[in-house]
Amino acid sequence: MTQKNLALVTGANGHLGNNLVRLLISKGIPVRASVRNINNKEPFAGLDCEVVQSDITNKPSLVKALEGVEVFYAVGAVFKLWAKDPAKEIYEVNMEGTRNMIEAAAEAGVKRIVYLSSIAALNYSRLPAKESYGQNPDRRNMYYNSKNDGETLAFELAKKHNIELVAVLPSAMIGSEAFAPLSVSYNILRLILQKQIPVETNITLNWIDVKDVAEGCYRAAIKGVNGERYILANEQCTSIRDTVKIARQLFPELQLTLPVPLPKPLLYGIAWIMELTSKMAGKAPVITTMDIAMFSGLQQNFDISKAKKDLGFAPMNSEQAVKEALMYLMNNKRLLYK
């Protein structure tokens, strides 16, 4: 039996994917949630949706998942900045996944795709960054490269197969429903609460509540202009130091200390040692030399007027988003200590 307005969300057990599934259900839209591991039931407890197995690296599984779907929210992707073999584990998977998702959508007769890109695919040479400035010319990070090249490929293939595609570019998503392991962005707040960010790196983040990004994705599906990209972020970024200050005000009993400023050469040295031990342990370091080189001092400020005008995007301010996300973590100790 076919369902009118059926939506598919890939990566539906991830942070954004799961919150998007919840939002669509609340709007009365029939949802098919796609995951790699069908045995992971926790994110879907009590949710009225169909859960199916598919993998972005397996096109036949995507074609099957997309049968009867009108709107495809292509959220599933590898989201990590570090890997033992970043070209293979991040870049190649995301590029293959993008190709498979668009081609599978074409085979299944999908009419419209909301493609999850990233602020990683923006040009920061002029601030505030905006969609029309084109893509990021910095080619030092494989995750960033995968988002830039993946978005380009998605638009090319959608045009070739005559599918409407809108790209959304979210910033650092935090807050609301989450399941272990936490996303890269959300985990930074966990590290702050765990007192694991002792030094100042001059890295800023553009915090955005994940519920606002989910709403932005939905609005992109119904209001977004075909072939366009929309930044889903706040206008101003927040330093790690200021984020710690918010946590200190909320939870004085934790006695959190502000990160200590260090000279850049010393930061590089610390990051180099962390990378070395991480390669041996096979676990992502808290900070890398590339993080320092690419992000230290970078102001992640955005012009979001296009998303406001076309989509009616109206996000919660960054400080409130941080406060709510910190409260959520403190109230969900299973996430805090994983």
Residue 198 corresponds to which tokens in the numbers above? 């002792």
CA neighbor of 213 nearest in space, from 13, 20, 3, 10: 20
What are 237-276's pLDDT values in tens digits?
Answer: 999 999 999 999 999 999 999 999 999 999 999 999 999 9
- Kindly state whether residue 338 falls inside one of the protein's structural domains: no
pTM of the model: 0.95
- Kindly state whether residue 1 falls inside one of the protein's structural domains: no
Query: What is the residue range of 66's domain?
Result: 7-179+206-235+300-316
- Kindly state whether residue 53 falls inside one of the protein's structural domains: yes
According to the model, what pLDDT value does residue 2 have?
A: 52
- Kindly state whether residue 214 falls inside one of the protein's structural domains: yes
Tokens 């197995």, located at residue: 53
8 A C-beta contact, residue 310 and residue 168: no
Q: Which residues on adjacent β-strands are paired with residue 288?
A: none
- Kindly state whether residue 210 falls inside one of the protein's structural domains: yes
Question: Does pLDDT of 180 surpass 90?
Answer: no
- Kindly state whether residue 119 falls inside one of the protein's structural domains: yes
Residue 295 corresponds to which tokens in the numbers above? 């992000």
Number of independent structural domains in the chain: 1
State the alpha helices, DSSP H only, in 109-209.
142-160, 184-193
Residue 1 corresponds to which tokens in the numbers above? 């039996």
Q: Transcribe 20-88 into DSSP letters.
A: HHHHHHHTT--EEEEES-TT--GGGTT--SEEEE-BTTBHHHHHHHTTT-SEEEE------S--SSHII
What are 93-118's pLDDT values in tens digits?
Answer: 999 999 999 999 999 999 999 999 99
- Kindly state whether residue 276 falls inside one of the protein's structural domains: no
Cα distance between residue 116 and residue 118, in whole Å: 7
- We report the CATH number of the domain holding residue 122 as 3.40.50.720
Q: How many CB atoms lie within 10 A of CB 319?
A: 16
252 vs 1, which has greater pLDDT? 252
- Kindly state whether residue 261 falls inside one of the protein's structural domains: no
Question: Does pLDDT of 1 surpass 70?
Answer: no
